[in-house]
Structures are given as C-alpha cells and as structure tokens.
Chain A
C-alpha cells in the first residue's frame, strides 16, 4: 500500500512540474495585467525545442535553454501584439496558440518525421534527504526541473511582494495610470513579465518532452497550458495558492493514471475527464475570487484619458 501511495504522490509531483512552470509565469504576466492565452502553444514549441536540441546535440541542458529562449521569443511577440499594438488579449492569445500548434506540427513532420524517444532528465538524489523513509523517495528523488519548479513558488512570491520590481508589477496590473504618473514604465514592465512568462512556459514544455514523457508528438500538451491559465484564477493570482491548485489537479491526474493502469472497471474516457471536470467545478464555485483579479487585467494601457 505504501508503495502505491509513494508512487501516486511521486508521480503527481512530476506531473505538476509543467503546470507549475506555466502557471507561475502566467501569474506574473497576469499580475501585470496581461492575459496570455497562448501559453499552451508556447509550451508546445518549448517541448519541441527541448526535444529537438536534446536529440541532435545530446545535451539536455542545451535543450532546456533552447526551450526557454523559444518561449521567451514567443512571449515577447505576445507582448508586442497585446502591449504595443493593444490587440485584444483573448483573441491574440488564441491566435498565438493556433500558430504554435501548427508550427510545432510542421516542425515535427519536417525534422523528426515520426515519434522518437529520448533518454530524459534523470532523477537526482539529494544526499541524505532521499534516504528518509517514505518522504525521501517522494520529495528528494526527482529531476532537476521538479526542484526548480517548486523553488519558483517562493521566488515568485518574494519577487511579487518584497521587491520594487514586484511592486511595479502589481501596480501596473491594478492601476497603470497611477503607476505611469509616478514614472513607472507601464509597457516595459508588461514586456518583462510576459516575456518571462514565455520563458517559463517554454521550460514547462521542456519538462514535458525531456523529463516526463521523453518523446515529442503533435499536440503533446493536450491543453495543459489552458489548465495552467485556469490555475492562475484558481490560485487568486498568488503563487502559493497556485501551487496548491496545481497539486490538487496533478494528484487527481496521477490517481486517474493509476486507476487506468490498475484497470478498475471504469471507462478510461470517464477517468480522463475527471481532472477537467474538477477544474470546471472548482472555478464555477468560486466566482467571488474574481474580485481579487488585477483590475487592469486584459485592459491595454493607453495614456491621456
């Protein structure tokens, strides 16, 4: 029984990694007032970049860096469209997603030709800690991206709440005109957060293709980026709560996978739906949270009103 629980919890921690990278990055960009719905697409490109670079150079580290750079570039494009061009954030995010979806499929066909596997990032044992019974193998026998993803949560909290940069992010997301009147470069802050969010989404994709599944195929993410956007709402734009939401979601997912493997008598189509059903139910039952949304979320900034 312990082994089953260790297995489920351990796999839920690995499963949470892509959600966490994507959702923490999205938290930063939404806190500054930009909704990036293209997250899933950026993850796809990140997953492809990491896989392709990893398999051609043999270096997974280069793969992760490539994923971050590709994600950052796409984030920058999203920032250009939504911040400089003041395009509707919802529509331009979807457009970015569709663009990335098509691009990644084309790249897959042109450069990979078929589904191949890669030897992914290996678990790292934290000396000493990984020997703790039960907890050790769960918490301290994971790959490097899992550790980084969890470290991002307190870092994001610290940046948002304890640094001038975080103060600017929150001010720009809440009342950009007030921030502007104090000389804060509203657009620059938004460019920074959206680009950073893109970097994280790219790495989220990497954590999927070279650490979790160790393969790349078209539409590998299967909507994970959209779930990450929902997790930001679920977490009320606070990194720690986003983590809790992501854990809830990935645990349900891990349970669902376990149930499939064990072959309990429920249709796999139904169990596959479970995480998404939970997302909808949770979001629908906490509409009050909306009052915590950054007031300027999805609103382009324009001077002189």
Chain B
C-alpha cells in the first residue's frame, strides 16, 4: 500500500469515527457489568521491534491474591511484557488467557474492561485537574452530557477509607506530593474495578514512610483477592513484599522462584547473569579542606517562585556529601546554582575560598567544577553529536585539542579512543551519534568527560537513575574512586539507598531548605525518611505554587 492511500484511509477512518463519536456523545451509554479476573496466564509471548527482540517466548502467570514481582535489567523486556498485558502493544506471537479463556487486548480500554489496571512509573495524571476529575476521566459511566463528580467523589472517599489511601478528592493534582499522586493512580485503577494491578517501579520516588504505607495498601488489596504484579529494581523490597518473583533476562524468562527460597544475591545473579557486588567498597579517606561552600543561598525556580531558601552547605575534599529528598524540593536548582546555569537571588557560593557567585558557567568549569546533570539526555550531551564531539565539549578550547582557531582532530580522536576504552563505553565507533547509545553508556560517556578533567568539585545529580545494575555498579565505583582522589563530591539522588551507601554525610532537603545533616555512620533510612517528608521552610517550596499547607493536627 502506498503512503498516499494510507493517508486517505486514515482520513476516511477519522471521518467515520468522528461522526460515530458525535452520535455516541449525543446518545450516551449505560454502564456494563465487569467480568472478574481470577487467574491470568501469558503464554509464549513474542514481541519484536525493529532490530530488537524485546520478548522472546515469555511465559508468565499470576494467581488471585498473589503479589508477583517482575525483575530484570533495563531492556530485559519487563515493560514490554506489561505493556502487552495492558493492551498498549499487541504481541507478535503468544496468547493471553484470563480465567483460562484466551482474550485479545487491543487497547488499555480492553485491558481495563477485563479487570487489569496499571500504575505507570511516570504517573499518568493530568496535573491541572482535580483528583476526582482524574478518576472520572474516560469512565464509561460519565459518558452522559453533564459530569456527575459528586458520585465519583463519594466513591473515591469509600475506596480511600477501605484501602487507607489518604487523599483529598477535590484537590488539584499538581498540588499533591508524589506519594499522594501515586495513591490517586491506585484509586483510579480500583475505581475501574481492577482485579489485577500492574505497578511499574512504584517505590522509585517514595520516602520510606510512603513505601510502608504503599505496602500496607498492597497487602490489604492482596488479602481481598486482588492480584498484583510488582516491577522493581530494589531487591530487598521484592523479598519483603512479594511471594513469587519472575526474572527476565534478554527478553527470556531467566527463572521464576518463590521469594522465601532465595537471597538477594541469587536474584541479582539471575538478573545479570553473573555475580554482582551489591555492597559498595567504601574505604576510609582522610577528609581535606573545604572545597565548596554555600552560604545563605536563595534562588527562584522555573516558575519564578522561591525554590532555594537559605542553603548553607560545605563539601570537603575527599568527601561525598549526599543530598536526600523527594523529587522537586530544590535539588535540581541546587545543582544548577553551583554549576552556574541558574542565577542566585541572595547568598554566596565559594570554591576553594574564592567567591564564585558572579562567575560564568565557563569560568566555573575552568576552575574545576564538574557536573553530571540530572537530565542526561537534555543537559548532559548533544544527542545529534558524535561520541568524540560530546567528549570534547568542555575541553575543545585547550591544547592539544585546538590551537588558535583550528581543532586538532588527531588529538581529539586519540583522547576519545582512550576514554572509550578506559570507561568501557560500548559504542560502534567514536563517530557514532550518541543518541543511539543506551542510557548506561551515555552516562558512562558523561562521567568520562567530567572526571577526566580532574575536577575539584563533582556534582552528580541522579547519576544512576534509569541505569541497570551493571552500569550502576560502574558509576558507583567511579564516584568512590574520585573521592579517594580527593575530589569534593555532591551526590544528589532520590534513591535513598544510594545516598545512604555512598555518602560520608547526608543533607536532607525539603521545600528548598536543608532540614538536617547527618553522618552516615549514625544515619538510618527511617530517620532520613522522616526528614524528607517534613520540616520547615517559610517560603513556598519549589513544588508548591500554593501557600504552604497547614500541618495536620496532632
């Protein structure tokens, strides 16, 4: 079929759909009764993408009331498998059986009507709508002319009570914390009568307290007969919550085990296919002079509201200062004011005793500040540039890479080859566009560029977000090696385990302020988690455009 005829067909299809939709809208439809899901089987699922075999004959099953963990490295095929189950992808081969009967799931709507719900890793919420509106969106019962939000609100109340999902139905979603937003997602699925709930890395952005609350809710749900599929990277949680775990590797099932019969190391080995160091070697290093100091730093966020309100911090040579906090509490802005990409409204930033508050970004990086930005795809590299061009981005003005107005391509190529080898960057060549590299290799490239400049201060923002176990291990080793070399390191991470295992000291940020600094030897996840969830800062935080809410009584 030619492209033109496809377009004409799609034109006609949209036309008929449009008319059907208009009729449907005018007519309105009633609710239909939903079938109950008790067992689910996926048999021999194969899903191909151009050049990739994402699922290669995967068998997977869930029983009623079971909490089933789905594990695997990035690219192992977990998400693909779950998107097949949720009707977002159609499998090339294989069968899905619900209660023993084969079904075809063509869209999320099909999946929902079969009692399947999914909580995506990036929440599928409309921030400008209220909680109740988010729940009501797309409901078949709300296909009448006027929206009946009162009934939705009432039922949301009932569900929140039953499953201890505290959230205010009339609040707009952008005002909610991450934990609350997740509760809205669960409420959405429950409201639609989900018997099977797929949770894609649900704990990735939560405080330990939120995680406890989530797990209580999930246990209540499973006791009531709901089935849960729990996708996670975090092995302790998998062992704590789930009864069974299925591990995928390279698109195939590497094993399906009862969790009471295995250890974390066993699971990690199944995922990676080799032994993995789960603990980071953290040798004692003598702490040196103060390298980086922030004194009373204030700055505004993107929307023009205060997002840093009086930050005082010191980072010494040979020290890793971890910044813990729930996403959006000023961490990104903190990294940016140090790197020089965000201007400061009050306070000073000092490097090796010199006031650099007014310095340009260029002067800062020349003076020894290295930055691994949070958005590696956007801020860390130029996607359209090759590996070697990205590696030279910060050094192209120096000998031997350039002289006068001419670049020395021989020297650049030699440097690129050296770094590719040393940092184990898997790329077809130094001239490959880095947009085609995996997340792990792109991060290795950025790490190589920043570390090879021998910085005095290294800001590492979310350095392992989205990376698999192997790449994470490598990044961690490199950061610890920099510490041993006497670099002052500011490690910003939403992954509390990462902060706790790498840092010498941990500063906790909440609503634009540092609410506490603790030593790693005495810090516990619970204590840090409590600080992450609350504390005082008088100005509005980075996240809250609204007045800061009153603390609840008691």
Contacts and interface: CB of A to CB of B under 8 A. Distances in A.
A79 interface: yes
Given A170-B128, A178-B125, A182-B188, A304 B88 contact: yes
Contact of B18 (A85, A167, A195, A288): A195
Contacts of A167: 129, 133, 136-137, 142, 147
Given A171-B126, A175-B126, A181 B14 contact: no
Contacts of A141: none
A290 to B, nearest CB: 10
Interface string B109-149: 10010000010100111111100011011110011111100
Interface in A144-175: 162-168, 170-171, 174-175
A164 B144 contact: yes
Contacts of B144: 164
B11 A181 contact: no
Interface residues of A, number: 36
Contacts of B124: 175, 177-178, 181-182
Interface in A265-305: 288, 291, 295, 303-304
Interface in A68-95: 76, 79-80, 83-85
Contact of B126 (A79, A163, A179, A191): A179
B35 interface: no
Contact of B120 (A80, A168, A181, A295): A181
A248 interface: no
Interface residues of B, number: 40
B137 A84 contact: no
A79 B22 CA distance: 16
A185 interface: yes
B129 A170 contact: yes
Nearest to B123: A178
Nearest to A187: B14
B17 A174 contact: no
A142 B18 CA distance: 35
A131 interface: no
Contacts of A180: 108
A116 interface: no
A304 B145 CA distance: 31
B21 interface: yes
B128 A174 contact: yes
Contacts of B120: 181
B88 A84 contact: no
A298 B125 CA distance: 19
Contacts of B109: 183
Given A167-B133, A192-B21, A304-B89, A178 B126 contact: yes
A171 B136 CA distance: 11
A80 B11 contact: yes
B108 A183 contact: yes
A222 B136 CA distance: 43
Contacts of A76: 15, 18
Contacts of A192: 18, 21-22
Interface in B17-61: 17-18, 21-22, 25
B126 A174 contact: yes
A85 B3 CA distance: 11
Given A79-B14, A163-B147, A182 B21 contact: no
Contacts of B112: 182-183
Contacts of A195: 18
Contacts of A304: 88-89
A80 B14 contact: yes
A183 B151 CA distance: 20
Contacts of A179: 126, 137-138
B136 A164 contact: yes
Contacts of A184: 137-138
Nearest to B144: A164
B143 A84 contact: no
Contacts of B125: 175, 178
B304 interface: yes
A185 B142 CA distance: 15
Contacts of A83: 14
A280 to B, nearest CB: 22
A195 B19 CA distance: 11
Contacts of B127: 174-175, 295
B216 interface: no
A183 to B, nearest CB: 3
A164 B188 contact: no
A115 B161 CA distance: 71
B99 interface: no
Nearest to B142: A164
Contacts of A303: 88
Contacts of B118: 181
A163 B137 CA distance: 10
B137 A171 contact: yes
B7 interface: yes
Interface string A191-227: 1100100000000000000000000000000000000
A183 B138 contact: yes
Contacts of A79: 14
B107 interface: yes
A84 B112 CA distance: 26
Nearest to B88: A304
B410 interface: no
Contacts of B138: 168, 171, 179, 182-184
Contacts of A182: 108, 112, 124, 137-138, 188
Contacts of B360: none
Nearest to B15: A76
Given A80-B11, A170-B126, A178-B126, A188 B89 contact: no
A168 B137 CA distance: 7
A54 to B, nearest CB: 27
14 contacts: A83-B14, A162-B147, A164-B143, A165-B25, A167-B129, A174-B126, A174-B127, A178-B123, A182-B108, A182-B138, A183-B109, A183-B112, A183-B138, A191-B17
Given A164-B136, A164-B143, A304-B88, 13 more contacts: A79-B14, A84-B10, A163-B146, A163-B147, A167-B136, A168-B138, A170-B126, A177-B124, A178-B124, A180-B108, A181-B124, A182-B137, A288-B304
Top 5 nearest A-B pairs (CB, nearest first) are A183-B109, A182-B138, A178-B124, A181-B124, A164-B142
